[in-house]
Amino acid sequence: MVKYPTGSSAAFRKLNYNYQAKHQKRKHKNINFSDRGMNLEQMINESNKYYRTKEIAVVHKKPTPVQIVKVDYPKRSRAVIKEAYFRQESTTDYNGVYQGYYLDFEAKETKNKTNFPLKNFHEHQIIHLAECLKQKGICFTIIGFTSLNRYFVTPASAIIKAWWTKDKSSLTLKEVEDWSVEIKNGFQPTLPYLKAVDSFISDRKIHDDK
């Protein structure tokens, strides 16, 4: 294992992706961290960088929550965390601000071609999305069907409703198509999810005007 005590952030980002992929894989067999090209998280991070650079929106991925147990403070060098554990996140992965609107979302991908399994979500994420919706945030999920190379921005309300529906373990592709705005991955930004957000904002304005 190469050490990066003062390593470049690029080197770290790569490492971090690998760790997160490994860590996630242990929990969710459905999630596909494809080695071909970028995975969904990388596409969103790239898009956020583009949106921030162009002053279109400010959205960040939250750091992975870690429970720190033991830290060493060696002389003449940085503090080293010697024992820590992954904690369960109490919120979604992404939030930020766009034209005065609060954005909050989670990104999930599946290799499955016909269904999106709801077990990809944790209950606390569903609760967090519902709390933010109550505060009039723009809340959604980005669902990637990686085997189909199709990406959908689904309003949180649809996910929350399905989650609490008894005996419903997944969304069919048809349901995802009906309830979401599909976005095509491209070059700049890699995943232009704000196009879908624009349509949610328009819908809300029409609803508020009524």
Closest CB to its own copies among 12 and 165? Answer: 12
- The Cα 140–Cα 158 span in angstroms is 9
Shortest Cβ 195–its own copies spacing (Å) = 17
- Nearer to its own copies by Cβ, of 60 and 174: the residue is 60
Is 106 known to sit in a ligand binding site?
Answer: yes
Nearer of residues 62 and 113 to its own copies, judged by Cβ:
62
Using a 10 angstrom Cβ sphere, with 0-12 exposed, 13-18 middle and 19 or more buried, the burial of residue 139 is buried
Q: Is 108 in the site for its own copies (CB under 8 A)?
A: no
95 binding its own copies? (CB under 8 A): yes
Q: Tell me if 172 is assigned to a ligand binding site.
A: no
Task: Mark the segment that binds its own copies (CB under 8 A) among 35-43, 78-86, 113-121, 168-176.
Answer: 78-86
Is residue 16 a contact point for its own copies (CB under 8 A)?
A: yes
- Residues numbered 145-204 forming contacts with its own copies, rule: CB under 8 A: none
The residue whose two tokens read 């960040």 is: 60
Amino acid at 114: T
Cβ distance 175 to 26 under 8 Å?
no
Binding segment for its own copies among 65-73, 118-126, 145-153, 165-173 (CB under 8 A)? 65-73
Among 62, 124, 168, 184, binds its own copies (CB under 8 A): 62
Using the rule CB under 8 A, is 71 a contact of its own copies? Answer: yes
18: left (phi over 0), alpha (psi -120 to 50) or beta: alpha
Q: Which is nearer to its own copies, 16 or 172 (CB)?
A: 16
Distances (CA, A) of 118 to 80, 134, 164: 38, 22, 10
Length of the chain: 210
Distance in angstroms (rounded) separating the CA atoms of residues 112 and 176: 13
Backbone conformation region of residue 55, classed left if phi is above 0, alpha if psi is from -120 to 50, else beta? left
Contacts with its own copies by CB under 8 A: the residue count is 56
What is the end-to-end Cα distance of the chain in Å, rounded?
60
The binding site for Mg(2+) comprises: 91, 93, 106, 125
Residues of the shown chain interacting with its own copies in the complex, contacts defined by CB under 8 A: 1, 3-5, 7, 12, 15-16, 19, 22-23, 26, 52, 55, 57-58, 60, 62-71, 73, 78-87, 90-91, 95-102, 104, 128, 131-132, 134-137
